[in-house]
Amino acid sequence: MAQLIGFEIGNREIDDDDYFVVIEPVFLSVSIYDGPLRYEEDLGKFSNEQRLILACHWYLSEVNNGGHDQFYYNSTGIVWKDTLKAFAALGAGEAVGIIEESIRRLGGNPSLDREERQQEVDRLNPHFDDLDNKLFRLAERFDFDAAILKFIRANRQKFFFSGFVEQP
């Protein structure tokens, strides 16, 4: 049974050092598991800026945990287009290049449907170890969390939230 959780995201939360607190209502509300239509429908309640930071979060979490293989093979691969836009908005051009190369290795336009994307990964058998390592080396020079916080603070009104979301 889903539980309603109330959130008040304002200046105090935005000025804190934990970006996840700011996007938690989005994270809990947007399904990456039920296909592109549901993903888009769920995102309709939120700003484009919230959408981009959610994509950053999913990408960084998945790649740091299991590499690009895990990112694309899991449901999280649905956010790949948003991830490109997000890192461009953060000024992380080198990360954009890494993602673009991973996309090329998957034929240039990975499916947003998980099963189709998994078939693409299985058929193309891309090797991502070099890209995983590039991202890890980049993270030593580029503070993704700081860039995300800077973006959130520069667009703070787009991250304000007051209301309830269902916790799955």
Q: What is the CATH number of the domain that holds 122?
A: 1.20.1420
Counting the structural domains of the chain, the total is 1
pTM over 0.75: yes
Percent of the chain residues past pLDDT 90, beyond the cut: 96
Residue 37's CB: how many other CB atoms inside 10 A? 9
pLDDT in tens, 94-119: 999 999 999 999 999 999 999 999 99
Give mean pLDDT, residues 68-89.
97
Tokens of 76: 């999280």
Secondary structure (3-state) at 113: coil
Q: Would the pLDDT of 168 be above 80?
A: no
Domain that residue 101 falls in: 3-167
